């Protein structure tokens, strides 16, 4: 950008709710509280977790995501699916903790032991499956 130009400032975003509140203030009335939606805190995605998959696992994940996107008639990416799964795990966190305590200690095999890692991860999967079943529906 040339020196003579100043950087553009982003305009503040005014939501419909903000506009409705401003209008209500001008009219001397209060908007209905029941109509005001709860405003969730939306955080920026700034953390990265790296994971390696086998080629067949990667292909299966891609196939699942494409199938989901087709069924939903929406653009769906692997990251959307992974974040949804993380949300499920966090929802069931106390049940996961309970089930892990019931399962007792697991010994993580060496990275070179593919079959051992598969068994280890299957056991973790069983803990998660039982916890999700008992955690109840998402709210």
Collect all residues with Cβ–Cβ distance below 8 Å to 116 and sequence separation of at least 6.
109, 110
- Please state, in angstroms and rounded to a whole number, the distance separating the CA atoms of residues 92 and 85: 11
Instruction: List the chain domain ranges.
Output: 92-139
Give per-residue pLDDT as tens, 98-137. Answer: 999 999 899 999 999 999 999 999 999 999 999 999 999 9
**The predicted structure's pLDDT at residue 15:** 47
With cut-offs at 50, 70 and 90, classify the pLDDT of residue 23: low
**pTM score over 0.85:** no
């Amino acid at each position: 950008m040339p020196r003579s130009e100043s950087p553009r400032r982003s305009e503040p975003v005014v939501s419909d709710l903000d506009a409705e509140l401003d209008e209500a203030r001008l009219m001397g009335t209060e908007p209905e509280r029941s109509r005001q939606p709860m405003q969730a805190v939306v955080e920026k995605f700034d953390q990265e977790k790296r994971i390696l998959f086998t080629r067949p696992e990667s292909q299966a994940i891609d196939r699942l995501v494409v199938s989901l996107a087709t069924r939903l008639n929406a653009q769906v990416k692997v990251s959307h699916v992974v974040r949804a799964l993380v949300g499920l795990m966090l929802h069931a966190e106390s049940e996961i903790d309970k089930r892990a305590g019931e399962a007792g200690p697991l010994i993580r095999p060496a990275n070179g032991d593919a079959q051992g890692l598969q068994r280890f991860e299957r056991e973790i999967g069983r803990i998660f499956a039982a916890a999700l079943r008992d955690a109840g529906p998402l709210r």
